[in-house]
Amino acid sequence: MKKIILASNNKHKVKEFREMLPEYEILPLEDIGYYDDIVEDGETFLDNALIKAKAVVSFLNSKDFKEDVIVVADDSGLCINALGGAPGVHSARYAGDHTVEANRQKVLNELKDKQDRSAYFITVLAVMNLDGEYKFVEGKTFGDITPDVRGYAGFAYDPIFYSYELGKTFGEATAEEKNSVSHRARAIIELKKVL
């Protein structure tokens, strides 16, 4: 089974990748002994995905890693049109720290008086081999930001993102429903074409 090293220890992301790429062995960073924090200070989603991919490839090469693997790094975020694309690349730390509830609340507060609540989730995946050659793909899904939290499934902004295609928030959707239309699912479909 071919191995993908996913440049993440986020259990939700690892689970989604494993569900959508069952033909690959998906290894999170902890499985290769990588515990450093990667500073994502890029200006775009692709910048951040490449920063992560390069850091992991550099780590593997420093360990003289010989297995046939590819590194996949993703950067994802929520882009809200009325907020000029925010939170964008700052989605994970929009309210300061990695606090999901605070991030959601900040978005809801900022949209309180806005008519336009349209938004999209985007995922950019960088696929890199150990020689540093890379390709990238992206996926998007569109919806509106609800005025309140709806549902408890998913993570991060899922309970306030009303999917046009599902007719409910990602927080109200099953994993199968979300995976059928999500930005990450669409990026992974594109990823399969370049693997």
The position carrying tokens 């809801």 is: 108
Domain that holds residue 56: 3-194
* Catalytic residue from among 74, 75, 144, 158: 75
Catalytic-residue membership of 113: no
Tell me which H or E stretch contains 20.
Answer: helix 11-20
Q: Is 100 exposed, middle or buried (0-12, 13-18, 19+ CB in 10 A)?
A: middle
29 CB-near residues (< 8 Å, 6+ apart)? 5, 6, 7, 8, 9, 35, 56
Q: CA of 136: how far to CAs of 73, 99, 133, 195, in Å? A: 9, 29, 11, 11
Paired tokens of 31: 């499985």
Is the N-terminal amide bond of 147 cis, ω within 30° of 0? no
Whole-number pLDDT of residue 32: 94
Strand order through the sheet with 69-80: 25-27, 3-6, 69-80, 118-128, 134-145, 161-163, 168-169
Of 117, 119, 170, 172, the closest CA to residue 147 belongs to: 117
CA atoms within 13 A on the CB side of 183: 25
Whole-number pLDDT of residue 11: 86
Paired tokens of 41: 């200070």
| Single-letter code of the amino acid located at 100 | V
Whole-number pLDDT of residue 98: 67
Whole-number pLDDT of residue 133: 96
Neighbouring-strand partners of residue 126 = 73, 136
Number of domains in the chain: 1
pTM over 0.75, yes/no: yes
Segment-wise mean pLDDT, segments of 10 residues, the chain, 195 residues: 91 87 95 92 96 96 88 96 97 86 95 97 97 96 97 91 98 92 94 91
CATH of the domain at 79: 3.90.950.10
